[in-house]
């Protein structure tokens, strides 16, 4: 310790500097430097991150309230970047005592007996982060610690001394960050132990009062519904949490696409080159956006951002499998691959009663169809596809198999009047690979199906709607303005 006190490191770590002061100092330095505070966290720049910064500058313990899949855990784990790279402590101390301000009896005894010869050890910033998932079976021994009577008997210490404590997670997080996920799931007596540590610095273990003036930044996460429900969290603990910050899902499609592109495993190796068209990324992300507004899906459970990530990985795997089976060099996902990724949708949505009646797979197909229709409209608003629609009305049909190779599918698509020339609306040229052009052509047909301009069934594949096949009537939307029949008024 004498060598440490004589070095510049001692000036960086004075005894009165708490972990909240340390985080605040490093945060101020980072703000002055500029640049992103939490790289890789998208969509929170104007909402969540400023509130987190305010909480840290205020030296608050805080809680993140949000539904599943809103990057709460990712965000709090990145707080370690605001800690010093290395921190000294008294070697052998279970609660990482500061060399100049030990709080445990062990640390004080070491300094009193050894003085400047007290050995020093070092903690990295990652070692100063502890995380615990709250469950109803968590005990005081897990969180705070327990008295070890055997240790007391062997060493002759008073039974109430902290030398006899087998420390739990919270004391071991001293001089660091301690995160508790799903806070309301903790039993009431554990919550009492938490707020005693936060405010008074003491706790009772088996009836023995133990003084533990710990230096900790506490961060919690919870579901908003559980947090606000009566009986889930005790009022004194809620009162001691300095800031309550609400997280949210991506606000725009582009933010969601950026998150999915960052997290989804699409850079495959030892197989065909993966090319994911922009409109496919938009459809996958739109599935999640539409699901969050669907009345048949439980809003309290939410639709996690993990849904589009899992769907994208499954979609790429479908395309990769097809490319391998057909000995192709490019794996380009199609809309059919999104339908093939239904297992990654059905397991991530909780249905209301109305949705349960219809079934998760049917709901998943509806979500995909609506997502395709929404993205299709953004590209083909005002584009005339009358020739393609009339091709099917005249009896044309096109059965598309998801396993069909790109060359075979493209050959079929070229037979549909006026179809492939419209791929220019997607930003494609005639020099694109067959797999890219085939995926674009299929997307257009899926868009027409989503808008009920053509039909699709297992027997015929893409075809004209049944009523038009039966009556052979032209589509009123394709007729000249003067020939359009007057709109019928409908009365309830």
Residue with tokens 């889930």: 232
Q: How many CB atoms lie within 10 A of CB 326?
A: 16
pLDDT value at position 472?
52
| CB contact at 8 A, 350 and 320 | no
| Tens-level pLDDT at each residue, the chain (492 residues) | 999 988 888 888 888 899 999 999 999 999 999 888 999 999 999 999 999 999 999 999 999 999 999 999 999 999 999 999 999 999 999 899 999 999 888 899 999 999 999 999 999 999 999 999 998 888 888 888 887 766 666 666 666 666 777 888 988 999 999 999 999 888 888 888 787 777 776 666 766 677 778 899 999 999 888 777 656 888 888 888 999 999 999 999 999 999 999 999 998 887 789 999 999 999 999 999 999 999 999 988 889 999 999 999 999 999 999 999 999 999 999 999 999 999 999 989 999 988 899 999 999 999 999 999 999 999 999 899 999 999 999 999 998 888 999 999 999 999 999 999 999 999 988 789 999 999 999 999 999 999 999 998 877 789 888 766 555 545 445 444 444 444 444 444
Q: Which domains does the chain have, with CATH numbers?
A: 2-246 (3.40.50.300), 253-478 (no CATH)
pLDDT value at position 85?
93
pLDDT value at position 120?
94
* C-alpha separations of 212 from 104, 165, 209, 243, 248 in Å: 8, 11, 10, 24, 36
**Euclidean distance between CA atoms 298 and 301, whole angstroms:** 6
pTM of the model: 0.85
Q: Which residues of 12-38 are buried (b: 16+ CB within 10 A; e: fewer)?
A: ebeeebebbebbbebbeeeeeeeeebb
The structure tokens listed for 91 are: 């070697």
């Amino acid at each position: 310790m004498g060598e440490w006190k004589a070095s510049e490191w001692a000036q960086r770590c004075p005894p009165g500097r708490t972990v909240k002061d340390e985080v605040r100092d490093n945060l101020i330095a980072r703000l002055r430097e500029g640049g992103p505070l939490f790289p890789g966290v998208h969509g929170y720049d104007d909402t969540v991150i400023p509130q987190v910064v305010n909480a840290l500058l205020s030296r608050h313990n805080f809680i993140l309230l949000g539904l599943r899949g809103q990057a709460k855990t990712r965000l709090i784990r990145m707080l370690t970047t605001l800690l010093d790279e290395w921190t000294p402590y008294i070697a052998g101390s279970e609660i990482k005592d500061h060399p100049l301000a030990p709080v445990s009896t062990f640390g004080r005894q070491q300094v009193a007996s050894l003085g400047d010869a007290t050995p020093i050890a070092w903690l990295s910033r990652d070692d100063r982060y502890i995380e615990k998932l709250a469950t109803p079976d968590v005990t005081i021994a897990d969180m705070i610690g327990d008295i070890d009577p055997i240790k007391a008997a062997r060493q002759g210490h008073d039974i109430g001394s902290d030398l006899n404590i087998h420390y739990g997670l919270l004391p071991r997080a001293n001089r660091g960050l301690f995160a508790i996920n799903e806070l309301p799931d903790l039993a009431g007596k554990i919550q009492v132990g938490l707020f005693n540590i936060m405010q008074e610095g003491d706790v009772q273990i088996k009836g023995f009062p133990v003084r533990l003036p710990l230096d900790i930044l506490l961060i919690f996460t919870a579901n908003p519904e559980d947090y606000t429900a009566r009986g889930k969290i005790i009022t004194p603990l809620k009162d001691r949490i300095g800031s309550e910050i609400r997280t949210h899902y991506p606000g725009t499609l582009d933010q969601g696409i950026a998150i999915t592109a960052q997290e989804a495993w699409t850079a495959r190796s030892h197989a065909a080159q993966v090319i994911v068209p922009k409109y496919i990324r938009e459809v996958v992300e739109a599935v999640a956006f539409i699901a969050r507004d669907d009345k048949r899906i439980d809003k309290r459970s939410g639709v996690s951002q993990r849904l589009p990530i899992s769907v994208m990985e499954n979609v790429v795997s479908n395309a990769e499998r097809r490319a391998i089976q057909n000995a192709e060099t490019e794996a380009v996902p199609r809309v059919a691959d999104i339908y093939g990724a239904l297992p990654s949708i059905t397991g991530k949505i909780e249905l209301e009663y109305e949705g349960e009646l219809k079934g998760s797979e049917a709901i998943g197909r509806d979500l995909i169809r609506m997502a395709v229709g929404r993205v299709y409209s953004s590209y083909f608003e005002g584009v005339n596809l009358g020739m393609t629609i009339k091709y099917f009305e005249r009896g044309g049909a096109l059965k598309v198999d998801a396993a069909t190779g790109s060359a075979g599918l493209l050959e079929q698509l070229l037979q549909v009047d006026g179809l492939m020339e419209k791929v220019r609306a997607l930003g494609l040229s005639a020099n694109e690979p067959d797999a890219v052009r085939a995926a674009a052509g299929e997307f257009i047909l899926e868009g027409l199906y989503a808008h009920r301009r053509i039909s699709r069934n297992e027997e015929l594949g893409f075809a004209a709607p049944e009523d038009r096949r039966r009556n052979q009537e032209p589509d009123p939307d394709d007729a000249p303005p003067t020939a359009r029949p007057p709109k019928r008024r409908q009365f309830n």
